[in-house]
Amino acid sequence: MPKECANNEEIEIFMNTIAIVLENYHTDYVINIDETPVRVEQQTQYTIAYKGDITPPIRKNYCPKTIISAICDITLSERKLPITFLAKGKGQVCQRNLNVHLPNITDCTPKGKANTPSCVNMIPTVSNYVNGEPGCLIWDAYGSHWVEEVMEAAEEFGIELVSVPKNTTPISQPLDYGVFGPLQWTYNGQIKKL
């Protein structure tokens, strides 16, 4: 990472904050969350024909590519937590269509990406992961993470929010650099083999 890309003052503040977090919370109660896009291919077949036609004129395999977001969480003690999938849509139907199995979770947003309501929804989820005890959530500087509604929810549930400094992903965002990168590389390799 080129030094000119990162703000040294922000890095120092982050490192000092993490040192305090390590003194104040059990490692199971310090959670890193990050979001990554996931391409989902839904194989379906459709036929266009008149009713009763034994030789339909059009029969086609259809494979729409849908991008959804996966929000992954890991504790400082390396405990993997359930994945939250963000479906594109407005209600529970779009969530059911993902067919996500427990203990993983679904939520929906108009674009299938994190927004203020989905970030607010993550706070009680994080609180459940820390058994309702005070905890710490480390996530990046994405705009919807740092709005008033999210910060109020965090305060209500006793969750301290810590921001990863911009341009420091390799050293301060382990999920992004150490998990999502290799996962995406492996996934793309498997898709190319098909």
Q: Is 167 helix (H, G, I), strand (E, B) or coil?
A: coil
pLDDT at position 169 over 70: no
What confidence tens digit (pLDDT) does each residue in 108-119 have?
788 878 889 999
pLDDT at position 56 over 60: no
Nearest Cα to 139, choosing from 94, 84, 101?
84
Q: Distance of alpha carbon 122 from its chain centroid, rounded?
A: 10
What confidence tens digit (pLDDT) does each residue in 136-147 have?
999 888 788 889
Higher pLDDT, 102 or 117: 117
Nearest Cα to 161, choosing from 147, 174, 151?
151
pLDDT at position 3 over 50: no
Q: pLDDT grade, residue 2 (50/70/90)? A: very low
Lowest mean pLDDT among 19-33, 47-61, 121-135: 47-61
Q: How far is the C-alpha of 166 from the C-alpha of 47, rounded, in Å?
A: 50
What pLDDT, on the 0 to 100 scale, is given for residue 14?
87
* pTM exceeds cut of 0.85: no
What pLDDT, on the 0 to 100 scale, is given for residue 28?
92
Q: How far is the C-alpha of 99 from the C-alpha of 56, rounded, in Å?
A: 31
